[in-house]
Amino acid sequence: MSASTTPNAPGPPPLAEIRGLSVSFGRGEFLAVKGVDLELRHGEVVGLVGESGSGKSLTALSLMGLLPHGARQETGSILFRGRDLSSLSPGARRELCGRHMGMVFQEPLTALNPVLTIGDQVSEIFRLREGLPREQARRRTLDLLRQVGLPNPAQAAQSYPHRFSGGMRQRVVIAMALALDPELVIADEPTTALDPTIAAQIVWLLREMAKKRQAGVLFITHSLGILAGLAHRVLVMYAGLLVEQTLADFSEPLHPYTRGLLGALPPNPSGGRPARLSPIPGHPPSPSERFPGCPFQPRCPESVDACLRGLPPLAEARPGRLVRCLRFP
């Protein structure tokens, strides 16, 4: 695939750029990510959606250099501020990613140290990163814990992670990511465990970060309603492939898959926007299945014979809009 995800975009090089990324498992026979291109500019929030197993997390983990054991980058390059990360030693890459990228995972427990209080964990970041004295780091910590919606920051700071609910822990992890003040934030289903009010606060914080600090945010989610107020554009993945770059409010989905995700949805009572991905009859293929044509064809209500013959390219269907379907452009 050669199409860029922001065609004809002017200006400086992207903050982060993935070109032609493929990720395999086993001995290279299972491709879980297939030729993904993705750009993220300073101050830009990009949403990444798709059914479970479509390759969203592996794409994000590749960007951070954190692919799980057994996974291998087969093709592609990853650039950060125009620099190819594969040209760096593992140590230099870790240092660069640790300093400039922050990741918020769906499962917050793994990111927290069970033997340190919440306050110590957050203020350690301020002390190490900015060399702040203890009292100043503590004040910044309490301020940040308040910002992420912890009701009693002073008490929370003295608690250990196991005393917290999943939602509270997630807010702490988000506070830690914000304390790092990264240029690139990858948030992988960060609000799934949170109630809608807190989720909205977190989204607001991330959007402020993109705006004020000119950070780039890659936001992976199943909650499409959240993206409408957050993302500048949305990428849709299916079976390891990018199939569409669409508008953040999903007002004009083009690919039958995107339309299917949105189609059967009851409107969100608060905003009339789709709330979550809706089930489409059938299942996505497993990475071991091979297709001569479009992998969505077996589930596509609009398929024709030609869909079986070859994989369509990701092509520009409207200005700035990309779609992988032979009905377009």
Ligand X SMILES: Nc1ncnc2c1ncn2[C@@H]1O[C@H](COP(=O)(O)OP(=O)(O)OP(=O)(O)O)[C@@H](O)[C@H]1O
In angstroms, the Cα distances linking 121 to 30, 112, 136 are: 39, 8, 14
Give the x/- contact pattern for ligand X in 61-100, rule: CB under 6 A: -------x-x------------------------------
Determine the Cα–Cα distance for residues 203 and 64; give it in Å rounded to an integer: 21
Could you tell me the smallest distance in angstroms from the CB atom of residue 219 to Mg ion?
Answer: 12
CA contacts within 13 A on the Cβ side of 159: 16
**Residue 57 binds to Mg ion (criterion: CB under 5 A):** yes
Could you tell me the smallest distance in angstroms from the CB atom of residue 281 to ligand X?
Answer: 19
H or E element that contains 8:
none
* Choice between 59 and 121, CB closer to Mg ion: 59
* Choice between 186 and 314, CB closer to ligand X: 186
CB atoms within 10 A of CB 73: 17
Residue 178 makes CB contacts below 8 A (sequence gap 6+) with: 102, 144, 147, 148, 205, 209
**Residue 55 binds to ligand X (criterion: CB under 6 A):** yes
- Residues 166-225 within binding reach of Mg ion (CB under 5 A): none
**Residue 239 binds to ligand X (criterion: CB under 6 A):** no
- Residues 248-307 within binding reach of ligand X (CB under 6 A): 287
- Residues 16-35 within binding reach of ligand X (CB under 6 A): 25, 32
**Residue 47 binds to ligand X (criterion: CB under 6 A):** no
Residue linked to tokens 């608060």:
270
Could you tell me the smallest distance in angstroms from the CB atom of residue 54 to Mg ion?
Answer: 8
Candidates 13-21, 55-63, 81-89, 198-206 — which segment interacts with ligand X by CB under 6 A? 55-63
Determine the Cα–Cα distance for residues 287 and 54; give it in Å rounded to an integer: 9
* Choice between 179 and 185, CB closer to Mg ion: 185
Determine the Cα–Cα distance for residues 224 and 202; give it in Å rounded to an integer: 15
Strand order in the sheet with 72-80: 30-40, 16-25, 72-80, 83-84
* Contacts with ligand X, residue ranges (CB under 6 A): 25, 32, 50, 52-58, 68, 70, 287
* Contacts with Mg ion, residue ranges (CB under 5 A): 57
